[in-house]
Structure 1
Amino acid sequence: MKVFKLTALSMAVIATSGCVPMLTDVPEPEQKSEITSPADIDLLIEKAKAEERQRILDEQRRQQQQAEVFAVLKEQNSPESEEIKFDDNSIVGNVDGIVFKACYETLVIPAKFRVEKQKVLVEPESTHEEVEPALYRNIEKKIELAPEQKVVDKVIPAQYKTVSEQVVVTPARERWVSVPAEYAIKEVTIKVRDGYEEWQPCYRTSAGSKLVNGEYQCLVKVPDEYKTLKQKTLVKAKTVKRETIPAETKTVTRTVLVKPEEVTYKTIPAKYKTVMTKEQITQAKSMQVTQAAKYETVETRVEIAPAAKAERKTVCKQDRSEALVKRIQIVLEKEGYLKPSPPNDLEVIDGLWGPNTSATLTRYQRDKGLAEGAITFEVLRQMGIMK
């Protein structure tokens, strides 16, 4: 019976460790899709984050199942199974309202160093020869470059005005003009036909209706019919009159000189250039110069305590909750330790105890001189999480 249990547990370990591939685990080939917009890129990033988070959760679940199976195997194979050591007096407060008991683990305490400053000779004292150059003084000399000359300053153009005058093209003349006759049109109304009476279809209820040949008819009076005619009447007979045609003129313009052109001149002074010449005052001479030695201060790290192993109180694995991991990640990110991990650069504050968070906490403990490799009570106090 015990052998059967071991076999079943061994198969479970192999299955959880991923050694036996399942047919359902074979991934289907992904269909490539073309990215056409920033929205598609955002969707791919969100999908990658979700897949990475699910992968970490599955890995933690697999590791937990594997640890449980190995614990059962160890308990069955050993005469006396070792129990996790708890300290009843190790209840040290709470984190977000949760009270923890301490597990004990043997961890590595990093070596301690002190910084010593030492003065080191960089360049020894030396003597060399320097040459003091000769001294000169500058002498100014004025040289004429261009003589004084008279040039045109500005030209005031001539002023003109435009004069307009009327010129007769065709003189005035007279001619006889025929004035047509004038007529008036009047409207005249004449009677075309006299009025009469006739029988016309009407309603039975109409006044004077009479049934004729199966149809009701009434006697209707048709009025007289008139017509309006237009009649043309002579008002003024045709006449002849004399008409004067005015003269035809045109405007002629011409330009008249008002003020002739004026030219003004200006005098340009002569140009000079000041030339600097050098006159030697003292001769060059050489001398011996001693340069002092140069030192630099160098900092060296001196080990004062070697790395050692010691037993420390740690948070048990079953108490490693998502809320506690998030509190640790927040402190690590604030201190500049925890950063997104490639290739997907997921969010670092996710409450998952992954390899990135574990390695970052170890680096934080090493820098602070704390025992590294687990979530110890002292690192929680250092972070201000545990009271």
Structure 2
Amino acid sequence: MIRKTASLALTGITVLGMASEAAAGGRAVECYEQVNRPAVYDTVYEDVLVSPAGQQVEYEAPIYGTRERVVQIASARVSYEIVPAITRTIYRSVRVDDGGYSWEWRIINGRKVLCKVRHKARYERVAEIVVVEPERRRRVVLPAEYESVAEEVLVRPEQRRIIDIPASYQTVVRRVVVREGSSSWRRVHIPRHCRY
């Protein structure tokens, strides 16, 4: 690039020298004109990575439910109890007095006389409790006791899912230089002015 600039500068000085010589009345031997070539551009479509590929982990919480089950809260056992006696009340006549004889004063036909009096036996009804079945000891078997309880159970465990996320790209449009612009000198022939 430096060499090209120096060459252009040298050519420019030469042309200026010729111009001044022509202005002074001399005849041009060679003539050059500057040729500018513009830069050439092209449109380039390029995919640019916006976000790289990766993985995302999603978690789903475990699901619990309730289940009822029967549990034994007391085992079978044996105990003993006293069965009271069975009694019955019966009534019977009991002789409370044998009777017999006694002496007592009586007035008969206005006369006071001592009489021997005969008494009958005297009975009374008395209640009596009789044992129908005596007291006894009885063996009692108590069955096991059960109870229904609710408990929490795992229906579905925690789940983990890995999701692949593809890379994300975006198309970017940009202009690129295909050929840079340049300047050069071209020898020209101008009749009656420059010999070619």
Structure number with larger C-alpha Rg: 2
Is TM more than 0.5 here? Answer: no
Structure that is richer in strand per residue: 2
Give the alignment's TM-score, normalised by structure 1. Answer: 0.19
Q: Say which structure, 1 or 2, has more relative contact order (CA 8 Å, 6+ apart).
A: 2
Structure that is richer in helix per residue: 1
Give the alignment's TM-score, normalised by structure 2. Answer: 0.32
